[in-house]
């Protein structure tokens, strides 16, 4: 079945000598993997691979077969040409980190247009805004809405947040409760818009600590969430 769908590139790996396997989050089918045969063999093919940079937004004409694990791309074109996402070192480190987060968390081959729209619009925001040091924190926190474990926004007056239960509590319970600076930051980030990120002033040490809390939150709610290889690079760039 030949279908046209918008897609966001999550990852790519070399396969054999001249092929690539590209994983995308598609608007119509969720996560799909594609085999690009021979694209590393010729100049024309190498030009085509430039389309498949991490988190690129594409329109694909695909040969879709629900019984296959690898699908074929018949045509591809860029939907949104980024101006800075892959050339700015700060943004490119965020892109590498977020692509790994998304590869780790998005598994389903099913349509979710609301999630696709979230990814599409937030990446365009990142591309067009210069202040991005806290972008990945809000992106990762908001992503939990679509994954099913966004923090409960009741009892915000409480001094503790239970990462395991995803709710605020008045007393320290269990080993996965946060307080202090991290809970202050969590309350600041809950419910804000990306345009308000510049109002949050934090140090690189605070940023790293809060990000570690968010990643632990993912680990507790997603049993197969892996340690991120790109985290060290991200922390170095923003230190």
Instruction: List pLDDT tens digits, range 105-136.
Output: 998 888 999 999 999 999 999 999 999 999 99
- Both 60 and 120 in one domain: the answer is no
How many angstroms from the chain centroid is the CA of residue 206?
A: 21
Q: 44 falls in which pLDDT band (50, 70, 90)?
A: low
| CATH number, position 109 | 1.20.1440.120
- Both 67 and 94 in one domain: the answer is no
- Both 53 and 16 in one domain: the answer is yes
- What's the length of the chain? 239
User: Domain boundary residue among 58, 81, 104?
Assistant: 81
Whole-number pLDDT of residue 173: 85
> Over 80: is that where the pLDDT of 222 sits?
yes
- Both 208 and 153 in one domain: the answer is yes
- Both 6 and 59 in one domain: the answer is yes
Question: For the segment 23-38, what is each residue's pLDDT rounded down to a tens digit?
Answer: 999 999 999 999 988 7
- Both 68 and 164 in one domain: the answer is no
Q: 174 falls in which pLDDT band (50, 70, 90)?
A: confident
Whole-number pLDDT of residue 14: 86
- Both 121 and 172 in one domain: the answer is yes
Residues 6+ apart with CB under 8 A from 165: none
User: Domain boundary residue among 63, 81, 99?
Assistant: 81
The vertex-14 CA angle with 61 and 10, nearest 5°, equals 55
> Over 90: is that where the pLDDT of 167 sits?
yes
- Both 135 and 205 in one domain: the answer is yes
Q: What is the mean pLDDT of residues 81-92?
A: 95
The rounded mean pLDDT for the chain is 93
Whole-number pLDDT of residue 42: 64
Report the C-alpha gap between 239 and 63 in whole angstroms: 44
Q: In what order do the strands lie in the sheet with 167-169?
A: 167-169, 160-162, 177-178
- Contact assessment for residue 140 and residue 101, using Cβ atoms and an 8 Å cutoff: yes
> Over 60: is that where the pLDDT of 104 sits?
yes
Q: What is the mean pLDDT of residues 83-107?
A: 96
Residues 6+ apart with CB under 8 A from 7: 24, 25, 26, 27, 32, 57, 58, 59, 60
Report the C-alpha gap between 33 and 9 in whole angstroms: 10
- Both 137 and 22 in one domain: the answer is no
Q: How many angstroms separate the Cα of 8 from the Cα of each of 42, 58, 143, 179, 194?
A: 24, 6, 15, 36, 20
Q: How many angstroms separate the Cα of 131 from the Cα of each of 13, 17, 19, 55, 238?
A: 31, 40, 37, 19, 12
- Both 102 and 169 in one domain: the answer is yes
Question: pTM of this prediction?
Answer: 0.94
| CATH number, position 19 | 2.40.50.140
How many angstroms from the chain centroid is the CA of residue 144?
A: 11
Name the domain count of the chain. Answer: 2
Report the C-alpha gap between 94 and 101 in whole angstroms: 10
- Both 201 and 92 in one domain: the answer is yes
Whole-number pLDDT of residue 47: 52
- Both 59 and 89 in one domain: the answer is no
Task: Name the residue range of residue 7's domain.
Answer: 1-81
User: Domain boundary residue among 51, 81, 111?
Assistant: 81
Q: Does residue 11 sit in helix, strand or coil? A: strand
């Amino acid at each position: 079945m030949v279908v046209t769908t918008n897609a966001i590139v999550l990852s790519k790996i070399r396969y054999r000598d001249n092929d690539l396997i590209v994983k995308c989050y598609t608007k119509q089918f969720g996560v799909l993997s594609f085999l690009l045969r021979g694209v590393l063999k010729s100049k024309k093919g190498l030009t085509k691979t430039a389309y498949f940079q991490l988190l690129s937004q594409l329109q694909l004409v695909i040969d879709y077969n629900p019984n296959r694990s690898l699908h074929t791309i018949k045509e591809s074109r860029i939907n949104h040409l980024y101006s800075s996402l892959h050339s700015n070192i700060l943004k490119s480190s965020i892109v590498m980190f977020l692509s790994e987060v998304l590869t780790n968390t998005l598994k389903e081959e099913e349509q979710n247009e609301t999630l696709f729209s979230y990814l599409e619009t937030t990446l365009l925001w990142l591309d067009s805004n210069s202040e991005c040091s806290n972008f990945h924190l809000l992106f990762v926190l908001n992503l939990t809405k679509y994954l099913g474990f966004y923090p409960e926004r009741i009892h915000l007056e409480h001094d503790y947040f239970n990462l395991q239960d995803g709710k605020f509590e008045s007393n320290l319970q269990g080993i996965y409760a946060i307080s202090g600076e991290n809970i202050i930051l969590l309350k600041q980030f809950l419910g804000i818009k990306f345009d308000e990120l510049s109002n949050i002033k934090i140090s690189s040490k605070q940023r790293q600590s809060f990000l570690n809390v968010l990643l632990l939150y993912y680990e507790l709610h997603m049993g197969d969430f892996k340690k991120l290889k790109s985290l060290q690079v991200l922390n170095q760039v923003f230190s």
